[in-house]
Amino acid sequence: MDFKLSSEENISEKFKSLGIFTWSNAMAFVQDLPYGRNANRTNFLLVLTELKGTCSSKHALLKELALENNRNEVQLYIGIYKMSANNTPGIGNALQDAPLTYVPEAHCYLKIDGIPMDVTSKKSDYQRIAASVMVEIEIKPNQVNVDKVNMHQQFVKQWIAEHDVPLNFSEVWNLREQCIQNLSNKR
């Protein structure tokens, strides 16, 4: 799918000021940006000014761009998947000494006409995690900040209780944070 950025709204104009005039070029530009947390999770334009972003900020920015251009076939999703060294190699040995083979991780991506697209980085591939997705939720861009964290934490707490996980929430969340830190260092 491709279209011209015809909107004169904020995000579309910012892309155009960078010499980006089509959806496919916007996706490629965002995908090429390094992985990294932005200074303010609620301001998706920081992806374009800080020239970095996470799965959440990059995909929320692109969803907002699609909305500005009246492209409703682009949806934003959170998928909570079984993050392991097999499907997310960049986590390194974070789980090696843990009594778990995976931790639930919330990952944002787009679906365009129902087809998953992950532009977190050039190495990102939704197919790598597809078989490990435990739950998938369509969200609005403004939900990637507080709501995504709350959904993720609630899921982890429920998962611990339902699967007799031998760790408490803080221990699981710390393992998850170590995995994310390893990913950030590797990218």
Q: What is the pLDDT of residues 145-163, one digit of tens each?
A: 888 899 999 999 999 999 9
pLDDT score of 186:
62
Check whether residue 97 and residue 144 sit in a common domain.
yes
Q: Taking residues 111-118, report their average pLDDT.
A: 96
pLDDT score of 8:
97
Closest-CA residue to 142 (of 183, 178, 187, 108)? 108
Tell the burial category of 62 from Cβ atoms under 10 Å away from its Cβ (0-12, 13-18, 19+): buried
* Residue 1 falls inside a structural domain: no
Check whether residue 112 and residue 141 sit in a common domain.
yes
Check whether residue 43 and residue 87 sit in a common domain.
no
pLDDT score of 50:
97
- 3 state SS of 130: helix
Distances (CA, A) of 122 to 30, 33, 89, 101, 110: 10, 9, 14, 26, 15
Q: What span, in angstroms and rounded, lies between the C-alpha atoms of 166 and 89? A: 24
Check whether residue 101 and residue 178 sit in a common domain.
yes
- 3 state SS of 134: strand
The number of distinct structural domains making up the chain is 2
Tell me the pLDDT of the chain averaged across its residues: 93
Check whether residue 87 and residue 64 sit in a common domain.
no
Check whether residue 58 and residue 122 sit in a common domain.
no
Check whether residue 17 and residue 64 sit in a common domain.
yes
* Residue 90 falls inside a structural domain: yes
Tell the burial category of 150 from Cβ atoms under 10 Å away from its Cβ (0-12, 13-18, 19+): exposed
**Residue 98: domain span:** 79-186
Check whether residue 60 and residue 84 sit in a common domain.
no
pLDDT score of 187:
54
Q: Tell me if 104 sits within 8 A of 82, measured CB to CB.
A: yes
Distance of CA 114 to the CA centre of its chain: 17
Check whether residue 53 and residue 132 sit in a common domain.
no
pTM: 0.91
Closest-CA residue to 151 (of 166, 168, 133, 139)? 139
What are the pLDDT digits (tens) for 37-63?
Answer: 899 988 999 999 999 999 999 999 999
